[in-house]
Every structure is written in C-alpha cells, then in structure tokens.
Amino acid sequence: MYATTSLSNARRPVVNDAGVQLAILLAVGLLLRISTFGDPNLQIDESFYLLVGEEMHKGAIPYVDIWDRKPLGIFLTYWVFAFFRNGVLAYQIGAWLSASLTAFLVTRIASRWAPAPAALLAGCIYLATAGVLLGFGGQTPIFYNTFVACAALLVFRYGSEREDWQLYTAMLLLGVALTFKQTVFFEASFFGLLALGDHRSWRKALLSITLGILPFALIAGWYWLAGYWPQFFEAMVLANLDRPAHLSSIVRQNALMLAAELGPLLIANLYAFLFYRDTFPARSLALWLFAAVLGFFSVPFVVEHYALPALVPLCIVAAAAFAARPLGPLLALGVGLTAIMLSEPVNFDRHRRSAAGFAQMVSAIGPLHRGERLLVYDGPPLLYYAVGTRPMSVLAFPEHLNNVFEKDVSTIRTVPELRRVISMRPAAVVMAPIPITPPDPATYRQLLSYVRSQCAPPVAIDLVEPFGKPSPHIVYAKCGRAR
C-alpha cells in the first residue's frame, strides 16, 4: 500500500520490534491504571456491567430479567469477569490488557507509514488520552476498540497483500465488535467497503457481510428460539430509536468540553493532514475517522467515553505529525502532558477515598435480614451485589428509573414500576440529596414520600467522581421499621 517514507528510512531502532512495543505499552498501561485497581466505584456503567455479569451467574437473562440497550457482548465479557472471586479487580485487569493491546495495534498500524518511535508514541497517547475520555476503567469501547483496531490492521494489510483470509477475519472481528455496541456499524461498513475497494466480487462481498453479521445474528437467533425476541428487539432497536436527546444547552456544554479535552490531539491531526498527508493513507484514515465520528453523533448524547472509538484513528494519524521534525516531538509532548494533567492517572489517594466511600455506603445500608431488599435509585448498581441482595426491578440501572430522559424507554413504564417497587417496601434506599441527572418528577416524588415517612434519618456519604469531585449521596436504612 504505502511504502515507508523518508521519515522512517533511518536505522531501525529497537522499538521497531513488536515484542518490545507490546512490553512497553503493557507497562505504560499498567502505570496509568494501577491506582484504579480494586476501586469498585470507578464509574456507574462498569458497576452495572459487573452487576449484570453476577446476575447472569444466578440465571438472569439480559433484556428479560435485567434491562439495558447494550448488546450482549459487553455483558458476556463481564460474565467472564464475574467468575473470579474479585470481579472488580478482574475486569480492571482485563481492561488494562485490552487497552494496552489496542495501543499496540495502533502502533503496528502507524508503523506501516511512520517511524517506529513516532508510532510507539501514538500508542502511548492512546493510553493516556483514553483516561481523559473516561476510559481509565472498563467502558465498552475499551474492549471493542481492540477488535476494531485488529480488523483495521488486517484490512490495511489486505489492501497491499490481497490475502482473502485477512478480509474475512477482519469482517468477523468487526462483527464481534458489533455485539458490544450498535454504533460499530458505521466503522464496520467503512472497512468492508475499503477492503473490497476496486476488486469487487459478489462472492467476497456476500461472505464478508455474512461474517460481519454472524455474531449478532447468532445472539438474536438464541433470543428468538428462547421466546424472548420481543424483549431483545425492543432493547436493541426500538429503545434506541425512541431515545430522546439531552437539552441542547447540555449538548453544547459537553461538546465544547470534549473539544477542549481533545484539542492538542486534534491540532496534531490537523498538522498531519495539512503537511504530511502524502506520508500516510490520508483519505482512508480520514474516512475511518468520519465513520467513527458518525457513530458518535448517532447517539443523541455527548458523553466523553462515546468518543473513545474515534481515538484509534486520531492517534494513528497523529503518528505522522509526531514523526515530523522539529515540531513532532513537541506536539507529542504537549498531547501527552495535557492528557496526564486532565486525568491525573496516578492518584492512589483518590481511589482509596472512592473505595472507602463505597465501603461506607455498604456499612450504612447495614445487614439486610431475610426478605429485605435494597433500592439503588441513584448510586452504584454494584451495591446490590456488595450487600448480598438482588435488584428489585428489571430496571436495575438507576438512570432508567430516575432520569427524565430515560422515562419509559423500555416496555416497562417507569412510574408504575417504581410504585410496584415501593409497594414491596425496600428496607434501604440509596439516592442523591440533589438529583445527579435531570429527575423524573413523578418517580422522585414517589420515592421522597416513601423514605421520609418510612425510613430512619438518612446518612450522608460522599462518593468520589472519576476526576476526584465529591458526589453527595444519602442512604436511608431501616425502612418500614421507623415511623
């Protein structure tokens, strides 16, 4: 495809060795993440995924017994982590390995056009910037980016070598990634078209499409045969189409913040496209980046971790800028330092406080007697597992009950569902003194009425948000006993 340019004609350094690159990126990934290991309160999403994994071990079926929009791939991944005695540590180690492997694939792709040191810097920047985008734990893209990056490497190799197994393997890997999140469709479509290119073949096209949809189709087929097709289709399709957008002011605010966080990396990309586009496949990488951004904007929310898929092509393109002299190394230094300053990755004290707040919350809930239940209206879903109980509702992810933008997104109506849960008289309730997300007034009023009349005075506890900001919560316990 693209021959090595004059930027990389010099003596091949030791960092050109794949084994050395992988070892370095594993070490960098560990350094950036080790302070998070063991913190059960990294992010609400990961807390929920691990809860689903634990519930699956008890016989729960996603979308039937516990509801969410995410495809089954992420829940199967956390089901594996739930095999371990310490599921929290297991998923965090798994996320470290997956992130470092993705960074290695970024390096290998960039090495096709950039010198090894610049390509390795691109891999390191992926690891550092992922933390800025809330990717310091086990967010979904941390896992599926590995499949997409591996597919990308195979497709770029296929473009020059024409070995069909690379195309078919890439399409199967993209199909696996699609079982983690539906938005992968845009990147999968791009890579399929890129790989086929001018060598159009109906046989190759049909086989590629078949392999691309096979993993998702197998999952859908199981739900069909098991009699759960309505629940599966509603979660995978209808709930996503019905998903309302955030208020425009919130979208603008989050978009501006995201642009500022990625500013140095975007500048490096602009520099590469303007001055070094002849040294790498600029058109293909620009289209890949466009497909990733299209996936980002296909969801009516602007959240940092939704931008993690775009980070892969952004870092690959940036390698061309990092190779330029004399500005390249300075650009890499600026991007890396900005990412580290924004995310403060090595902060053991913050994560000790986060884990301590979680433990304090478990203690405040207290031991639940036989038949007593917990309701997490606003807080970490993993509390259910930590106190030895199961969710009282299929809507176990708190925002599906408390967030006005999530009202009635599933076939289960939120107001009647919360009324049903309250009628079961939960013995403890976790919520926030001031709602963290825009609340659904109807469910919020119901719950306030219950906790104020049926529960002991609340215990105030500060959890720790991802970047260290206190997150006030309150625990109502001994409900149904106090008057």
Per-residue pLDDT band at 357 (split at 50, 70, 90): very high
pLDDT for the residue numbered 246: 54
Tell me which of 343, 358, 390 is where a domain ends: 343
d(Cα 121, Cα 316) in Å, to the nearest integer?
10
In a domain, 413, yes or no: yes
Which residues, 6+ apart, have CB-to-CB distance to 454 below 8 Å?
425, 479, 480, 482, 483
CA dist., res. 37 & res. 348, Å (int): 9
Rounded mean pLDDT of 451-477? 91
Tokens encoding 132:
């800025």
Helix (H) or strand (E) holding 430: strand 428-431
Residues 6+ apart with CB under 8 A from 7: 114, 115, 118, 276, 279, 320, 323, 324
d(CA 103, CA 110): 10
Please state the rounded mean pLDDT for residues 340-356.
Answer: 93
Q: Check pLDDT > 70 for residue 2.
A: no
Residue 81 lies in a domain: no
- pLDDT score, position 289: 96
The reply to whether 51 falls in a domain is: no
Instruction: Tell me the three state secondary structure of residue 375.
Output: strand
Of all residues in the chain, the percent with pLDDT exceeding 90 is 73
Residue 130 CB burial class (10 angstroms; 0-12, 13-18, ≥19): buried
Rounded average pLDDT over 98-110: 98
Q: Number of structural domains, the chain?
A: 2
* 60 within a domain of the structure (yes/no): no
In terms of domains, do 394 and 245 share one? no
Is residue 11 very low, low, confident or very high in pLDDT (cuts 50, 70, 90)?
low
**Three-state SS at 155:** helix
pLDDT value at position 249? Answer: 58
Whether the per-residue pLDDT at 425 is higher than 70: the answer is yes
Q: Which of 36-40, 86-90, 241-245 is predicted with the least confidence, judged by mean pLDDT?
A: 241-245
Same domain, 304 and 425: no
* In a domain? residue 157: yes
**Range in 159-168, 310-319, 425-434 the model is least confident about:** 159-168
- Is residue 355 situated within a structural domain? yes
Whether the per-residue pLDDT at 416 is higher than 90: the answer is: yes
Q: Percentage of the chain surpassing pLDDT 70?
A: 93
| Local confidence band at 198 (pLDDT 50, 70, 90 cut-offs) | low
Last residue of a domain, one of 343, 361, 388: 343
Which residue range(s) make up the domain with 262? Answer: 6-38+86-343
Mean predicted confidence (pLDDT) in 396-421: 89
Mean pLDDT confidence for 97-118 = 96
DSSP secondary structure letter of residue 219: H
DSSP string, 434-483: S-SS-B-HHHHHHHHHHHHHHSPPPEEEEEE-TTS-EEEEEEE-STTT--
**What's residue 243's pLDDT?**
63
162 and 282 housed in the same domain = yes
The average confidence (pLDDT) of the chain is: 90
Question: What's the pLDDT at 223?
Answer: 98
Supply the pTM of this predicted model: 0.93
pLDDT at 12: 60
Does residue 187 lie in a domain region? yes
The pLDDT of residue 7: 42
Is residue 224 domain-shared with residue 331, that is, in the same domain?
Answer: yes
The verdict on residue 426 lying in a domain is yes
Distance of CA 455 to the CA centre of its chain: 36
Q: Kindly state the average pLDDT of the residues 265-277.
A: 94
